[in-house]
Structure 1
Amino acid sequence: MSGFPDDPGFFGIIKEMPLFFKLFGGTIFLVVVGSFLYVIIRGLWTWTSNNASEVLTCTAGVVDKRTEVWGGTGNSRSRTSYYVTFELVDGSRIELPVRGDRFGYLVVGDQGELTYQGTRFKDFRR
């Protein structure tokens, strides 16, 4: 048996809060949970979509390379994402994320066979 039989606990505090704080807190909670769900669902959708796509190999050329550096404030380390834009024979372009070790081997102007699946870079052979 508890020593505090009339202690309402956490829900007692919530019950005594003004309506504005309840609505504001609930809205913040829904935005945070909704954001997490959106990121998870979007990631799963992209992964599933890529898996369902066929692996394509076509003649292409490297037309551009770029990096995106993020993080690195205070004591946290920075991270770099690498992207390469390929131009296909029909003139269309596709930008694919690549690993850093592959990024260094690709040079603007290279021509070869690009292999990719959906938005996944697989290989490029000169």
Structure 2
Amino acid sequence: MLGIFGMLLAVLGAFLLISVVGALIMTLIGVAYQRKKLDKEPVVTVHASVISKREKPIYRRENSSAKNNMIVRIIYYATFRTEEEKEIELSVTKEEWDLLAEGDEGELTYQGNWYQEFEKNRKKSLCQEYS
């Protein structure tokens, strides 16, 4: 009896290991594909202004009660409006998010949906400091 139970555990363990390794490989292939696709996009620099910012909390569900959910991490987004009236929402780091304010104007550099840099217009920033 223990021999059959041991074999079942070994098969289950092997199945779980293969599943985890397979999922990891598929994730890595997906990330590499997205990165390759993104690298084909041109790097664009445009004059833009910050029109809004938002946070998106990612929760880990403890149980079915919404009260017991825990925030695992927060994704920060900034929405920019270009001179051509195009609105672009990009994920930014917490540090960048803290530095950006609605109404800031400057040069936005991005590639596809990947935020690279926002260099504020110095004249506007100086005016805000003294107001």
CA RMSD, Structure 1 to Structure 2 (Å): 3.5
**Residues 66-107 of structure 1, C-alpha deviations (whole Å, 9 max, x = no match):** 111113555x76201001111111111111110111110000
In structure 2, relative to structure 1, the CA distance for the partners of 1:39 and 1:94 (3 Å cut) is farther
SS across alignment from 2:56:
strand
SS across alignment from 2:101:
coil
**Residues 36-62 of structure 1, C-alpha deviations (whole Å, 9 max, x = no match):** 787555533321121111111110010
Q: Show the counterpart of 1:56.
A: 44
What count of residue pairs does the alignment treat as equivalent?
107
Distance in 1 (alpha carbons) for counterparts of 2:60 and 2:114: 26
Normalising by structure 1, report the TM-score. Answer: 0.64
What amino acid maps onto 2:41 in structure 1?
A: S
Q: Show the counterpart of 1:102.
A: 96
Q: Which runs of 4+ in 1 moved over 2 A?
A: 7-11, 35-46, 71-74
1:90 aligns with 2:90: no
Q: Show the counterpart of 1:80.
A: 74
Give 2:57's match in structure 1, choosing from 62, 69, 92.
Answer: 69
Q: Assess if the C-alpha contact under 8 Å between 1:60 and 1:89 holds in 2.
A: yes
Q: Tell me which protein shows more helix as a share of its residues.
A: 2
Normalising by structure 2, report the TM-score. Answer: 0.62
Structure 1: stretches of 5+ with no match in the other structure: 1-6, 12-34
**How many percent of aligned residue pairs carry the same amino acid?**
29
Structure 1 position 120, deviation (Å): 0.9
